[in-house]
Amino acid sequence: MQAGNVQKLISIFEQSFKRLDVQVSLERLEVLAVTIHRGMTAQARHFHTLEHVFAFVDSNEPIGILASLYHDIVYYQV
């Protein structure tokens, strides 16, 4: 697991929740970040990767950012 990407996800979650005035523990932020990281770095992923997700989180809208983090978390290759 790449610590840099997990840390980046934690930071994105932390900033988004802070803008929404929602208190989230560091432990919960880490769980959320690791969940996204694991889902987006599975071997079957080719396009919908963390880089793809990071491209979407360039917004100032915290709800949009949170939606972007989860928008492709479930991926089924046919």
State how far the Cα of 50 lies from the Cα of 69, in Å rounded to an integer: 9
Query: Coil, strand, or helix at residue 63?
Result: helix
The ranges assigned to domains in the chain are 3-70
pLDDT digits (tens, 9 = 90+) for 3-33: 799 999 999 999 999 999 999 999 999 999 9
Q: What is the pTM of this model?
A: 0.83
Q: What number of helices (H) and strands (E) belong to the chain?
A: 4, 0
Say how many C-beta atoms besides its own lie within 10 A of residue 37's C-beta.
Answer: 19
Question: Is 78 a residue whose pLDDT tops 70?
Answer: no
Nearest to 50 by CA among 69, 67, 23: 69
